[in-house]
Amino acid sequence: MSIVPVQAVSGRSRTTEAESADPGAAAVAPAPLAPRARLLPSLAAVYRAQLSRARVARIPLLFVATFQSVGIMILMRGVVDGGAEARAVVAGSSVLVVAFVALNLLAQYFGQLRGSGGLDHYATLPVPPAAVVLGAAGAYASFTAPGTIVTAVSGSLLFGLPMTHLWVLVAVVPLAGAALAGLGAALGLLAPRPELATLLGQLGMSAALLLGVLPPARLPEPITYLRDLMPSTYGVEALARAFDTRPDWAGVAVDLGICAVVGVVSLTVATLAYRRAAVR
């Protein structure tokens, strides 16, 4: 028969009584969660990551987009002599580079990201959904700047247009890029399958080609109403006005303002679509 010391029995009893009085006393307090990342630092981090990825994977496609736009201008040179139609062709071809990358490729990217489960990775990161959408859209839109500048300069030399006010591209590229990138991201995130996202991106780029490059005077009247619904149209109009010897700066400001509003709306829709897709 073993004898248990009185101190051990009394110590065990006191411990049991303390645990009964406060069941959570013996449990380890959970460590506090880290604060959620703020929007601007998260946006900068996603932008740098996406820009690095796009620089490696998309440079060949950027050359394709630029050569495609320059080739279209060379073909149109045999049809259009100059004047307003030449300005429309050069402006439309320049913005087409933005549409090819920011709309078409971004729709494919988000479609593949959703289809492969890549959104789950972003959903686990403590970053706001807006940072993911804006960072990717900003990277793809800014990636189009070199091709747009090359196309605009080549078109100006080809058609004999003045290049004095080509600095307007500093506003046209980000604003038209934001509108088209938001549209591309929304198409990619809302499409139920990656193949459908690719199809919608291709259709959007084709619409930007037909409605933006062809001079408005040569389009049937019903098609001109569809042209007004295309976000890239207003970037084309702003750039085309800048090719005048005396640009209508009020008209340029209105067109750029419409681009900005459409960009905010399309990026907001894309953010909501990202939240909806990430929850599923």
The count of C-alpha atoms lying within 13 angstroms of the C-alpha of 12, restricted to the half-sphere facing its C-beta, is: 5
Whole-number Å distance between alpha carbons of 264 and 270: 10
pLDDT digits (tens, 9 = 90+) for 210-220: 888 888 888 88
> Do the domain assignments include residue 92?
yes
pLDDT in the model for residue 64:
83
**Total H helices, total E strands in the chain:** 13, 0
> Do the domain assignments include residue 116?
yes
pLDDT band per the 50, 70, 90 thresholds, residue 135:
confident
Taking each helix axis from N to C end, the angle separating 232-242 and 194-213, rounded to the nearest 10 degrees, works out to: 30
> Do the domain assignments include residue 65?
yes
User: Contact at 8 Å (CB) between 73 and 90?
Assistant: yes
> Do the domain assignments include residue 212?
yes
> Do the domain assignments include residue 257?
yes
Total domains in the fold of the chain: 1
Q: Which position has the token pair 């959703």? A: 114
Specify the DSSP class assigned to residue 78: T
pLDDT digits (tens, 9 = 90+) for 226-253: 888 888 899 999 999 999 888 899 999 9
pTM of model > 0.95: no
> Do the domain assignments include residue 17?
no
Domain boundaries, position 257:
38-279
> Do the domain assignments include residue 170?
yes
Helices (H), 143-168: 145-159
Nearest Cα neighbor of 45 from 140, 135, 125, 138 is 135
Whole-number Å distance between alpha carbons of 12 and 242: 87
pLDDT digits (tens, 9 = 90+) for 94-130: 999 999 888 888 899 888 888 877 777 777 777 787 8
pLDDT digits (tens, 9 = 90+) for 142-151: 778 888 999 9
> Do the domain assignments include residue 8?
no
Dihedral sign, Cα of residue 237, residue 242, residue 243, residue 246: positive
Nearest Cα neighbor of 255 from 104, 91, 66 is 91
